A = this chain, B = another copy of it.
Amino acid sequence: MKISIIGVGLIGGSIALKLKQKKTADFIYGIDNNTENLDEALTLNIINEKADLRTGIQNSDLVIIAIPVDSARKILPEVLDLISDQTVMDVGSTKSGIVNAVKNHPKRSRFVAFHPMWGTENHGPKSAVAESFSGKAGVICNREESANDALELVENVVKSLDMHLIYMNADDHDIHTAYISHISHITSYALANTVLEKEKEEDTIFQLASSGFSSTVRLAKSHPEMWVPIFKQNKENVLDVLNEHISQLRKFKSALEKDNFEYLEELITNANKIRGILDK
């Protein structure tokens, strides 16, 4: 199958590598405003050819939109205007916005709203890896709004990525990802800013940083180009969980201030439950 990928960065690039490896894709057009990324993707054999939007779409069976969620929401109606019976999918971390943007588009049924639960703090085609998605969840939203053949094509792509498929309503998706993914990023950003504020000697951070610190602060390296639009589109859900998070931190503060170490132990023992859930 021939595929156009709009946005040949970390996610688009990783999908391209995996689908070529699995021979799900036999030709990939790369479409990207960032010509440097595009050239790099070509050099790295991530794509077969650079293309403009119209040429790519006309020659492809599947169009994958892999750009930040605000740009994705903007470009999707244009892409749907250009297709005949091709399938279009996105990979964005928020789903209500994009689904609503094309609710009444005559070609709505050619679009499948998708979100692979994988990413790293890196960006660009250089960071792309084929073995990225294996074992993670691939979420398809509002499947009843997609045509059967389009849905089936995307389901096969998700299987080629070695992901396990989950179906979800777009609004539910945005609530759950606020809890499980978006808040982790805010926590990590705020932790980085805390340490940068308190620890004036950068060299001490570098010298003392343990694997624990590096792991907790890893997501703080993620770029604002991707994350500001996500927080913007999922504002209400993110604020809701952020308020809860601040109140959870206040419990630790209160336990410490009052020398209530039994309560502190209780809070930690409760947090330990995450082990049983994650390490099933």
Contact = CB atoms under 8 A, between A and B. Distances in A.
The complex is assembled from copies of this chain, and their number is: 2
B205 A180 contact: yes
Secondary structure at the A interface, as helix, strand, loop or mixed, is: helix
Interface in A146-199: 164, 166, 176-177, 179-181, 183-199
A236 to B, nearest CB: 9
Contacts of A265: 224, 228
A268 B228 contact: yes
Contacts of A103: none
A106 interface: no
A66 interface: no
B214 A216 contact: no
| Contact-size category for A | 35 or more
B176 A195 contact: no
A241 B210 CA distance: 17
Interface stretch (A71-79, A82-90, A246-254): A246-254
Contacts of A248: 190-191, 193-194, 197
A256 B242 contact: yes
A275 to B, nearest CB: 4
A215 B275 CA distance: 12
Interface string A198-231: 1100101111111111111111111110011001
A174 to B, nearest CB: 12
A179 B206 contact: no
Contacts of A211: 118-120, 136
B245 A191 contact: yes
Given A176-B204, A206-B280, A232-B261, A187 B187 contact: yes
A159 to B, nearest CB: 16
A22 interface: no
23 contacts: A117-B210, A118-B210, A118-B211, A120-B212, A139-B208, A164-B207, A181-B210, A183-B194, A188-B216, A190-B252, A192-B274, A193-B248, A193-B267, A195-B274, A196-B270, A217-B278, A220-B271, A227-B268, A228-B268, A231-B264, A239-B257, A243-B253, A246-B249
Given A166-B208, A246-B246, 13 more contacts: A137-B208, A180-B195, A184-B213, A189-B271, A190-B252, A198-B244, A206-B277, A222-B272, A223-B268, A224-B268, A232-B259, A243-B253, A246-B253
